[in-house]
Chain A
Amino acid sequence: MQQVESIQAEPAASAATAKLGRAIVITSGKGGVGKTTTTANLGTALARRGARVVMIDADIGLRNLDIVLGLESRVKHHLLDVLEDRVTIDDALVGDKHSENLFLLAAAQSREKDDVETPKMQALVASLRERFDYVLIDCPAGIELGFKNAVAGAQEAIVVCTPEVSAVRDVDRVVGLLGNRFRPQLVINRLRPHLVKKGKMLSVEDVNAILRLPLLGVLADEPEIIVTTNRGEPLALRTENATGAAYHAIAARLAGDDVPPPMPPVPKPTLLERIGSLVGRKRS
């Protein structure tokens, strides 16, 4: 990754100014493992802690961060409008419906990923770091140009993986491509504890034995995520939900709080097990 390695250290001038925000790319290789959901929820959780957060949807042509946040009707300008100097960043930023200090820079829908020039992307991220505590970059699936551009401006990486062979293999490849510049942290998504218990799904330990990455969080498979996307209301808005709370824990860990390390969720008793115990009680 020639371009990535040639990035200079931050300009000296910034040392005198306020602390620069952290630019974090959320990537995975495999599609559909939860990058966009993680970006939306992590952004929400960080904003709720008082941080100023901007989320960039780098999936040009297949934008979805807007719809996951419920902001699709508010997007007037997009990333390429900014990169090509048709509008200012402020014109393009969309304020979140639910959380203060949370902003979205949407992808272009009708353009191609080739249209993004890497140096411009880097410059954009650098300038956003001056205004925001966190710049979260939602990376497209794959390892093509879209991926490279999303990674280009970032200093940190979160890799999202489901406990499935294909996903683990892809993350492994991506970590290799990210190279030495990054020390990626891992989020394991869509764990099904009851399947792990039966040996039908890789466990957290299994995944980490292969990937050997610092574990940022573990999220159980949560059908409610589908509902939240239907409505455009990220689950992190509901801390009473276990997965919502888990996103907040991830935000806390990311921020460096002293939070207990992620624990794999325990299997809930299955419906049949509960029925069984109910019937058992009735009998006795």
Chain B
Amino acid sequence: MNARKIVITSGKGGVGKTTTTDNLGATLANRGHRVILIDADIGLRNLDLVLGLEKRIVFDLVEVAEGRCQLRQALIKDKRFESLSILPAAQTREKDAITPEQFASIVERAAEQADYVLIDSPAGIETGFRNAVAGATEAIVVTTPEVSSIRDADRVVGKIAGAGKPIRLIVNRLRPEMVRSGDMLSVDDVCDVLSIELLGVVPDDEEVIDTTNRGEPIVLSDTNRLRTIYDKIARRLEGELVPFTSFDGQSFIGRIIDALKAG
């Protein structure tokens, strides 16, 4: 049976598409699935970098499209996982170096050898985005709880909707303490506005910066709570009904403040 082909997109840049792609991919691989990640951001590739695989690139997406190599030659197997490979983007080409049809065909070929194909979309709604979406049968839209991100996510949902592809939402970089103080939109607020099925909520975590520097998905960390969060997302994607982690509980700092006020 062919893989599920899921594009991860957002409209707004910098909200966590690439981080979501690599962590979700890693989690699915750890759960026993065969996963292929495709970086559709030609010219500004980063999926290789966040996985620490940048030195192993031999061939890229455009070369596969141009028939200069086989797909399997371009795929880089991530040795930390049983079955996780990435197809890197080209760095010195433009996004029009590949047509949506060519991209879709490559995704199809990848789907023959995997259970999940995750496509990391570039920011924006131009050619690169259109290519990325062309290959997919499902979409995950990533947004942060900020006005600009949500507005752009809405635009992107508008562009994808109507093609019959299921669209689900990940709210990334939530800061529960700011939501509590009324300075950040809540997950409910975001869902009210966007009205698409919620797939996951990922809190902001500074450790992601450090692990990205080192080319490691955060889910490889035993101690970071994001590992559980991404696991839940993966399970929901598999079809399981998993309750959402509540971030309304008082934070460690909140408890200290109360203690200080009382003392």
Top 3 A-B pairs, shortest CB-CB distance = A31-B13, A32-B14, A141-B13
Decide: A143 and B148 in contact? CB cutoff 8 A. Answer: no
Q: Chain A residues near B151: list those with CB within 8 A.
A: 62, 64, 67
Task: Count A-side interface residues using an 8 Å CB cutoff.
Answer: 40
**Which chain B residue lies CB-closest to A33?**
B14
Q: Chain B residues near A156: list those with CB within 8 A.
A: none
Beyond contacts A230-B183, A271-B253: 4 other A-B pairs, Cβ-Cβ < 8 A, are A31-B13, A31-B15, A67-B147, A201-B213
With A and B bound together, what is the CA distance between A201 and B210 in angstroms? 6
Decide: B127 and A144 in contact? CB cutoff 8 A. Answer: yes
Q: Chain B residues near A31: list those with CB within 8 A.
A: 12-15, 123-124
Any chain A CB within 8 A of the CB of B175? Answer: yes
Any chain A CB within 8 A of the CB of B102? Answer: no
With A and B bound together, what is the CA distance between A145 and B127 in angstroms? 9
Any chain B CB within 8 A of the CB of A226? Answer: yes
Decide: B13 and A223 in contact? CB cutoff 8 A. Answer: no
With A and B bound together, what is the CA distance between A30 and B14 in angstroms? 7
How many A-B residue pairs have C-beta atoms within 8 angstroms? Tell me: 126
Decide: A200 and B13 in contact? CB cutoff 8 A. Answer: no
With A and B bound together, what is the CA distance between A230 and B183 in angstroms? 8
Q: Chain A residues near B178: list those with CB within 8 A.
A: 223, 226
Q: Chain A residues near B122: list those with CB within 8 A.
A: 141-142
User: What is the distance, in angstroms, from A200's C-beta to the closest C-beta of chain B?
Assistant: 4
Decide: B209 and A195 in contact? CB cutoff 8 A. Answer: yes
Q: Chain A residues near B231: list those with CB within 8 A.
A: none
Q: Chain B residues near A164: list those with CB within 8 A.
A: 209, 212-213
Of A144, A192, A275, most buried by chain B (CB within 10 Å of CB) is: A144
With A and B bound together, what is the CA distance between A202 and B209 in angstroms? 9
Any chain B CB within 8 A of the CB of A152? Answer: no
Any chain B CB within 8 A of the CB of A140? Answer: yes
Taken residue by residue from 101 to 139, chain B's Cβ proximity to chain A (1 for < 8 Å, 0 otherwise) reads as 000000000000000000000111111100000000000
Known A-B contacts A166-B49, A166-B50, A226-B183; the reply to A32 vs B13 at CB < 8 A is yes
User: What is the distance, in angstroms, from B133's C-beta to the closest C-beta of chain A?
Assistant: 14
Any chain B CB within 8 A of the CB of A227? Answer: yes
Any chain B CB within 8 A of the CB of A244? Answer: no
**Which chain B residue lies CB-closest to A140?**
B124
Decide: B44 and A62 in contact? CB cutoff 8 A. Answer: no
Task: Report 21 cross-chain contacts, Cβ distance below 8 Å, ordered by A residue.
Answer: A29-B44, A31-B123, A32-B14, A64-B12, A64-B148, A109-B155, A141-B12, A142-B44, A142-B124, A143-B44, A143-B94, A144-B126, A144-B128, A164-B212, A170-B46, A223-B175, A223-B178, A226-B178, A227-B183, A229-B147, A230-B183
